[in-house]
Amino acid sequence: MEPRSLMVMREEAQMPKVLLVEDNEMNRDMLSRRLQRKGYDVVFAVDGNAAVSMARIEKPALILMDMSLPVMDGWEATRQIKSNPDTQTIPVIALTAHAMAGDQEKALAAGCEDYDTKPVDFPRLLGKMEELISA
């Protein structure tokens, strides 16, 4: 076996799967590239309905949830994920574009474990992710 493919297999076996829910292509590409560079196995959803399905199908270790989404917003998607016994233990970090007053409380009320604002402070987000995944 080639060393390169062996390395890829080892990374896949060790690194947690993250569901990135983001409808903005540029944000999605940028954040997923940075997560992949850290070794995360990244899967995607581009609307809230797809997020609920992907959570169920992919069983990610963590979900990064944009709140402003087409079809179904991130608030409702999180509520559905948290009300399904198959997916309710998956930690969700809410991401909102602007720090709106009350968003943090709203995120926690929807069942999110944590909350952060965009543009993402990547080291800070990684710290929150690692904390939730290892918990």
Site residues for Mn ion per CB under 5 A:
23, 66, 68
State which residue has the least CB distance to Mn ion.
68
Nearer to Mn ion, 15 or 72 (CB): 72
- The letter for the amino acid at 109 is A
Q: How far is the CB of 11 from Mn ion (least distance, A)?
A: 29
Nearer to Mn ion, 15 or 120 (CB): 120
Q: Where are the alpha helices (DSSP H) in 1-135?
A: 3-14, 25-37, 48-58, 74-83, 103-110, 122-134
Could you give the CA distance from residue 53 to residue 32 in angstroms, rounded to a whole number? 19
Nearer to Mn ion, 49 or 68 (CB): 68
Nearer to Mn ion, 20 or 61 (CB): 20
Q: How far is the CB of 23 from Mn ion (least distance, A)?
A: 4
Q: How far is the CB of 24 from Mn ion (least distance, A)?
A: 5
CA-closest candidate to residue 63, choices 51, 72, 50, 47:
51
Q: How far is the CB of 50 from Mn ion (least distance, A)?
A: 13
DSSP annotation of 16: P
* 85 three-state secondary structure: coil
